[in-house]
Amino acid sequence: MPSLQLNERQTADFEMIGNGGFAPLTGPQGSADWKSVVERMTLENGEYWPIPITLATDAEVSEGDTVEITSDEGMALGTLKVSEIFERDINAEAEGVYLTTDTEHPGVAALHEEGARCVAGSYEVKALPDHEDAFMQRYLSPEESKKAFAERGWKRIVAFQTRNPIHRAHEYVTKTALEITDGLMIHPLIGKTKEGDIPAEVRMQCYEVLMKDYYPDDRVILNVFPSKMHYAGPREAVLHAIARRNYGATHFIVGRDHAGVGDYYGTYDAQKIFDEIDIDKLGIQPLFFEHSFWCNRCEGMGSGKTCPHGAEDHVFLSGTKVREMLDNGEIPPQEFSRPEVAQILIDAYSKA
């Protein structure tokens, strides 16, 4: 039987398909779905799907083959029944999904790195990839998440996607959303991210501190999300919403520059894309939040919707400034970050 070893990004896709997070997908998409997703943001059957989930490879496999699948670390995961082999148009996918063909964009760069030849079919899942213990202690599959929500009696569940440490602005947004729902699922992405992003294991330490001291145990679940980042901005916001629907959430937070990178997308483009979507058909309600900050005049957190004061009264630090402070062992002001979170990041930076 031919075999195919997935790379790290492909392993994450396998896991999301295998655990039900990417339902209704059962394997890497074929040419008809690829074309429909790129051009119309739907599968061929009309169901919303914003980013192609394909399997690009130069492996010597043929249509009709049953192929053994292993993870990027060599773990046996299952098999793929190959239904089609096709060539995707990388530039068309880049333009349709990422709105750019610039290879400096990490998502576009990944397309070129993986290549155009794609293998489609259905997976038979025999195992899911391993993760570090710290992740597995917080790992709930979509089925397990729904069960946990039901056991708590939650009917309105809001999910929060993050690939960064939770600073005061994120805490404010999540707690505001929690005020109008029964429960909150903090769902940090632990799959492949771009160089320079804070490692998932460091971020997990930050999340655990906040769970222990700043969120109510009976109203919040911390659950890891084993997907990768595409950095597709608006389209990725839709993908993140669909996945959280599959995990049982009824609401999904979409904030400033969701899944963005550089200057490729407008600040609120990831919110505007939902104007093009039938929310009832999507099956999950987006909750939109503007940029949040601490206001010295208000003496609390707010946003442009709630705070009447000017920028001179707001505590705002750029990512560059925060990294400079952490590099120098300086704790950012408490109005920006909980000191415990900042200390974890300082310790991690000092070891880097």
The CATH code belonging to domain 3-125 is 3.10.400.10
- For 141-167, the DSSP string reads -HHHHHHHHHHTT-SSEEEEEESS---
- Give the span between the Cα atoms of 29 and 38, in whole angstroms: 12
pTM for the predicted model, two decimal places:
0.96
φ, ψ for residue 187 (rounded to 5)?
-130, 70
Class of domain 133-351: alpha beta
| Residues taking part in catalysis | 163-164
Domain ranges, ordered by start, for the chain:
3-125, 133-351
Contact 242, 278 (CB under 8 A): no
CA distances, 153 to each of 144, 149, 278, 320 (Å): 14, 6, 28, 42
pLDDT tens digits in sequence order for the chain, 352 residues long: 899 999 999 999 999 999 999 999 999 999 999 999 999 999 999 999 999 999 999 999 999 999 999 999 999 999 999 999 999 999 999 999 999 999 999 999 999 999 999 999 999 999 999 998 879 999 999 999 999 999 999 999 999 999 999 999 999 999 999 999 999 999 999 998 988 788 999 999 999 999 999 999 999 999 999 999 999 999 999 999 999 999 999 999 999 999 999 999 999 999 999 999 999 999 999 999 999 999 999 999 999 999 999 999 999 887 778 878 888 888 999 999 999 999 999 998 877 6
